[in-house]
Amino acid sequence: MPRALITGITGQDGSYLAELLLDKGYEVWGVVRRASTESYERIEHLRDRLHFAQADLLDQPSLTAALQQAEPDEVYNLAAQSFVPTSWTQPVLTAEFTAVGVTRLLEAIRQVNPAIRFYQASSSEMFGRVLETPQSEDTPFYPRSPYGVAKVYGHYITVNYRESYDLFACSGILFNHESPRRGLEFVTRKVTNGVARIKMGLDDHLTLGNLDARRDWGFAGDYVDAMWRMLQQDEPEDYVVATGETHTVERLVQLAFDHAGLDRDAHVRTDPSLIRPAEVDLLVGDPAKAKEKLGWEPSVDFEGLVRMMVDADLERLSGAGGATRG
């Protein structure tokens, strides 16, 4: 039975990846942080089938101990401070988790078992103020947030450990991917949860920032499959994972309100305080390499994703006691 260790197992991607690996017959270990209250909501349904190691990306000995305990064949590093606006208010902590944390984990792998295959969660945020469109594995980086800068470090330290120590280390440059398990502060979920709350009579309006930003949005369940495929190849390489389509935040908003049968103009407000100090205006990925070498294709389109998320939020809130609004 192959064994995998996932950092960030309590997050959106960690939960989908754990499901995928369990279905494939893996013994799955998750790194969890000590907290006064556990936050296992996204993996509650899998809990009996998972193993846990308490560790933190800030603490190298705990990572070494987690590897010694789990003895994994594959490590997926999904843990990070992943919310872009927080990276301006906590830039040093973001760098510690999202940048130097990758080195701590790679060093632990090198010491415990250099044969471990390693996946690093790189991000399309690294393209930032894009230098070409669409963005591919060859597009230079121009990050626009402390988060993007930290991810560039994590990306290049992964490449460097592959080249310096011959580790099987891959970086997946993943474009935005969403699901009903997405954190409530990210724009897709903020919109679908907001629409559901308005529909149920729990709120009257939704306040957003920049509606002109464009993103290449896919479904998280599809993207974790690409991560696994990267680690099954003969050679470690980096891959862009994206749908190849881009949409504005405004289009996301319109689709979500339409799907719930609500008038967007009656409920959407904007607040300049939600505009970022530096914005990433346009992301659209070229997934040709992932398609060709990994045989990977997205299975959910943008409209289907928005419908899935609105329906899931409506269902979740339907027991909340609100009166449905027409």
Q: Does 176 bind ligand NAP (CB under 6 A)?
A: yes
117-123 and 74-77 beta bridge pairing? parallel
User: Which one among 5, 53, 112, 121 touches ligand NAP, defined by CB under 6 A?
Assistant: 121
DSSP assigned state of 99: I
Give the helix ranges, DSSP H, for 71-206. 86-89, 91-94, 101-112, 146-165, 187-199
**Residue 290 binding: pick among ligand G4F, ligand NAP, none (C-beta 5-8 Å cut-off by kind):** none
| Contact predicate 226/172, CB 8 Å | yes
Known catalytic residue: 273? no
User: Which one among 15, 62, 64, 176 touches ligand G4F, defined by CB under 6 A?
Assistant: 176
Q: Does 303 bind ligand G4F (CB under 6 A)?
A: no
Nearer to ligand NAP, 78 or 206 (CB): 78
Known catalytic residue: 39? no
Give the helix ranges, DSSP H, for the chain. 12-23, 60-70, 86-89, 91-94, 101-112, 146-165, 187-199, 220-230, 249-259, 264-267, 288-289, 302-317
Q: Does 155 bind ligand NAP (CB under 6 A)?
A: no
Q: The tokens of 253 are what?
A: 């908003």
Burial letters 195-218, b for 16+ CB under 10 A, else e? bbbbbbeeeeebebbbeebbbbbb
User: Which one among 183, 210, 288, 325 touches ligand NAP, defined by CB under 6 A?
Assistant: 183
Q: Does 186 bind ligand G4F (CB under 6 A)?
A: yes
| Contact predicate 135/285, CB 8 Å | yes
CA dist., res. 12 & res. 299, Å (int): 18
Q: The tokens of 176 are what?
A: 């935005």
Question: Which 185-244 residues touch ligand NAP, going by CB under 6 A?
Answer: none
Question: Which 99-158 residues touch ligand G4F, going by CB under 6 A?
Answer: 123-125
Least distance from ligand G4F to the Cβ atom of residue 62, Å: 23
Known catalytic residue: 125? yes
User: Which one among 104, 181, 215, 307 touches ligand G4F, defined by CB under 6 A?
Assistant: 215
Nearer to ligand G4F, 175 or 296 (CB): 175
Q: Does 210 bind ligand G4F (CB under 6 A)?
A: yes
Q: Exactly one of 16, 26, 147, 223 is catalytic; which is it?
A: 147
Q: Exactly one of 87, 122, 123, 179 is catalytic; which is it?
A: 123
User: Which one among 18, 21, 70, 80 touches ligand NAP, defined by CB under 6 A?
Assistant: 80
Q: Exactly one of 27, 74, 125, 178 is catalytic; which is it?
A: 125
The per-residue DSSP string of 288-320 comes to HHIIIII-----S-HHHHHHHHHHHHHHHHTTS
Q: Does 256 bind ligand G4F (CB under 6 A)?
A: no
Residue located via tokens 């289907």: 304
Report which secondary-structure segment, H or E, holds 54. strand 51-54
**Rounded-to-10 torsion of CA 194, 251, 133, 245:** 90
Active site residues: 123, 125, 147
Which residues sit at the interface with ligand NAP, rule CB under 6 A?
A: 7-8, 10-14, 31, 33, 39, 56-58, 78-82, 97, 121, 123, 174, 176-177, 183
Which residues sit at the interface with ligand G4F, rule CB under 6 A?
A: 82, 84, 123-125, 175-176, 185-187, 190, 208-210, 213, 215, 249, 274, 276, 279-280, 283
